Amino acid sequence: MKKSYFILLFAVCANMLWAGNPGFGDRRYSLTVMGEYAYNEAWQHHGNLDVQALMPINPHFEMEAKMQLSTANVYTGVVQLRPKFELPVGEMFVETDVMYRAIARNQMGDITAALGIGYRMDYVSVTVGLFGRVLDNWNRDIHSNETFVVEPFNLLYRVEVFCRPQSNPWNLSFCISNVDDYQMERMWQPLFMVGAHYDVDEHWRWLIGAECKPTGMFHLDATFYGANVRTGFTYKF
């Protein structure tokens, strides 16, 4: 019986892989606006406004610009550069991220740079890489011995699975990662995400998603730290 289940699982996975298409879905110039309710132990209840632009410059290169404004008095901007290489099934890509977060409530900011390599196709997307971060106090006296904080190397990972092909008018995804659109956490701080979308017509897409952020996962003492829910629309040009 166990052998039969294993063969069935292998057959389903193989069919999903070989039934995939070249590239990764319909990548057009698009603008996304989302509203978000969030809570965490540090900033308590707050709301976020997210604005994202996807710019597929050519079949081998695309970039994204993202901005988040938060009622927690935190403001984040991100630029992603993504060379990509189409395969018979899916595509390989190299991703470079630069993120600046202005934590005005605490008079400090941090800048993070990441480099990753990944593969994505209709049913799965996987990325691994490294990132470094520099944190600085806005009120630091440059003439004093006080200095900024440097985190030179952190592991970056992201695994996302999709229930339907990327060409389907609706989809549902599940993801585990230590990064999302507006934060990059240490490797032992995973984020659990679920998302869905529905294509209203050729141009409009409705999105909804949720994220949970526990602490202490790698110490076998996980406790709740924060969560958010969001919804919005994408317009494809």
Q: Residues 108-137: pLDDT tens digits? A: 999 999 999 999 999 999 999 999 999 988
Residue 186 amino acid letter: R
pLDDT tens, position by position, 46-69? 999 999 999 999 999 999 999 999
Residue 4: inside a domain, yes or no? no
75 part of a folded domain: yes
Number of domains the chain contains? 1
CATH of the domain at 180: 2.40.160.40
10 lies in some domain: no
Task: With respect to residue 18, please indicate whether it lies within any of the assigned structural domains.
Answer: no
In a domain, 136, yes or no: yes
- Output the pLDDT for position 21: 60
Range in 12-16, 17-21, 62-66, 227-231 with the lowest mean pLDDT: 12-16
Instruction: Report the C-alpha gap between 221 and 104 in whole angstroms.
Output: 32
Residue 6: pLDDT above 50?
Answer: no
Residues 6+ apart with CB under 8 A from 85: 60, 91, 92, 93
Query: Which of these ranges, 82-86, 89-93, 142-146, 174-178, has the smallest mean pLDDT?
Result: 142-146
For 150-167, how does the pLDDT look when each residue is reduced to its tens digit (9 = 90+)?
888 899 999 999 999 999
Residue 152 lies in a domain: yes
What whole-number distance in Å separates Cα of residue 21 and Cα of residue 192?
A: 27
> Can you give the pTM of this predicted structure?
0.86
pLDDT of residue 20: 55
85 found inside a domain: yes
Instruction: Decide if 161 contacts 178 (C-beta within 8 A).
Output: no
The whole domain housing 113 covers 31-236
**CA separation for the pair 219, 197 (Å, rounded):** 35
Residue 109 lies in a domain: yes
Q: What local confidence, expressed as pLDDT, does residue 5 receive?
A: 45
Residue 73: is its pLDDT beyond 50?
Answer: yes
pLDDT of residue 11: 44
Alpha-carbon gap, residue 84 to 32, rounded angstroms = 22
Identify the residue with better confidence: 182 or 3. 182
- pLDDT per residue as tens digits for the range 136-146: 888 887 767 77
What percent of the chain is predicted at pLDDT more than 70? 87
User: What is the distance between the alpha carbons of residues 187 and 43, in angstroms, rounded to a whole number?
Assistant: 22
